[in-house]
Amino acid sequence: MTFDRTFTAAGARRSEGSAADDGVAELFRVHHLALVRLALLMLGDRAGAEDAVQDVYARLHRRRSRVPGSPDELLAYARASVLNACRTLLRRRALMNRLVQAPEPVWSAENDVLIADDRRRVLQALLKLPPRQREAIILRYYLDLSEAETAASMGVRPGTVKSTVARGLSSLGERYQEER
């Protein structure tokens, strides 16, 4: 009888793990491209964006026993994780730029082909915004999240999202004009 309980408990643990694995796999199938776009908009380079999202999936897999249960919670958790990974990369880049005095990144021919000139100008202006305003605008308008979803991803209140987006859009317009 003890053997049956141990076997059942082990079986239950295995099914919980596989349910978390299924949730992460479904997240990848449905939202991978959107998460890479989010990271691309935050970082400004595709390779860094793909690396950041890959790191998030690796951490989700390692911590699958603590992954949120519902698909909506998992998606919000993944978005917040991608934002955190991007913030970390941006801090590292800023530190390296201060230490090395590296020149600004140059757009490659591939990026110019993929992104029209107007979109490139918007992205350049977006990258010059303060990080919090950039995050709010990207989540709200590029990912088309509601204020509540944006607030959940950023870990702030919906009113903070409204004011941050308003200030960000104003600054974005000014910086866009400077890109001419």
Q: What is the DSSP letter of 45?
A: -
pLDDT in tens, 29-56: 999 999 999 999 999 889 999 999 999 9
Q: State whether 46 and 7 are in the same domain.
A: yes
CA distance 129 to 154: 16
Q: State whether 123 and 169 are in the same domain.
A: yes
The CATH number that applies at residue 89 is 1.10.1740
Q: State whether 127 and 48 are in the same domain.
A: no
Q: Is the pLDDT of residue 137 over 70?
A: yes
Q: State whether 13 and 82 are in the same domain.
A: yes
DSSP 56-112: HHHHHHHTGGGS-SSHHHHHHHHHHHHHHHHHHHHHHHHHHHHHH-PPPPPPPHHHH
Helix (H) or strand (E) holding 138: none
Tokens 């209140």 sit at which residue?
A: 157
Q: Is the pLDDT of residue 109 over 70?
A: no
pLDDT in tens, 14-29: 344 566 677 788 888 9
Q: Is the pLDDT of residue 145 over 60?
A: yes
Domain end (from 80, 105, 130): 105
Sign of CA dihedral 147, 87, 63, 24: positive
Q: State whether 97 and 122 are in the same domain.
A: no
Q: Which residues, other chains included, contact 10 with Cβ-Cβ below 8 Å and sequence gap of 6+?
A: none
User: How high is the pLDDT of residue 178?
Assistant: 81
Sign of CA dihedral 54, 59, 64, 70: negative
Q: Which domain holds residue 21?
A: 1-105
For residue 70, the Cα-to-chain-centroid distance in whole angstroms is: 19
Q: State whether 57 and 34 are in the same domain.
A: yes
Q: State whether 98 and 177 are in the same domain.
A: no
Q: What is the mean pLDDT of residues 116-136?
A: 85
Q: What is the mean pLDDT of the chain?
A: 81
| Number of domain units in the chain | 2
Q: State whether 118 and 128 are in the same domain.
A: yes
User: How high is the pLDDT of residue 8?
Assistant: 38
Helix (H) or strand (E) holding 6: helix 2-43
User: How high is the pLDDT of residue 40?
Assistant: 92
